[in-house]
Amino acid sequence: MPPPSERPLAEAVPYSGPLLTGVANDLVIPSVLNLEEEEKYWVPQQPNVWFRPLLFSLSQGYWVNILRVRKSGILSRHRHSGPVHAATLKGRWHYLEHDWWATPGSYSYEPPGDIHTLEVPEGVEEMVTLFHVTGSYTYVEPDGTPVGVEDVFTQLETAKAHYESVGIGADYVMSLVR
Ligand code: FE
């Protein structure tokens, strides 16, 4: 059989083998970037800060969400126990400890163990960023003293409470679990 690159397109046919055992359902959420519609799907995190959960991986300890911030200033100082991948969609933000800026269309990687302080600068009315976060945030004082912690389980709990309170229900949030 010729390698895939040499086969004609007519051979593009879907998999028709046996049912796959143990493979989780895929997950599709339409229009997650429509920031005005479906307002009740945005979970309040602190005044003028919301997140929209996309996926909770309880088996691998990571979560994916879109963070939406409508204020300027310091959001939090935190240490990561795992890697973070971010795609900035709107506005801009940075960490006080680093000289790079997250700007619309940019990708950024935050290494496990880093401690940094997230600031949204004056003049940014709305910041929107998609985050893939593994492990936990440990919120810290300037000297590194821990003051709080967040992980996929606390995020799930916060989202579940919100979705129950607005009438969407806990089933919705559990549909995002893999
Ligand atoms: Fe971070």
**Residue 172 CA to ligand 1 centre (angstroms):** 27
Query: Alpha helices, DSSP H only, in the chain?
Result: 152-165, 170-174
Structural domains of the chain, ranges and CATH numbers in brackets: 47-174 (2.60.120.10)
138-142, long-range: CB < 8 A, 24+ apart: 138/78, 138/79, 138/81, 139/76, 139/77, 139/78, 140/77, 140/78, 140/79, 140/115, 141/77, 142/77
Average pLDDT over residues 12-35: 90
Give tens-digit pLDDT for 81-125.
999 999 999 999 999 999 999 999 999 999 999 999 999 999 999
**Residue 61 CA to ligand 1 centre (angstroms):** 16
**Residue 171 CA to ligand 1 centre (angstroms):** 29
Give ion ligand 1 contacts, CB < 5 A: 110
- Rounded to two decimals, what is the model's pTM? 0.90
**Residue 73 CA to ligand 1 centre (angstroms):** 15
Give tens-digit pLDDT for 53-86.
999 999 999 999 999 999 999 999 999 999 999 9
Measured distance CA(117)–CA(76) in Å, rounded = 6
Tell me: pLDDT of 6 over 80: no
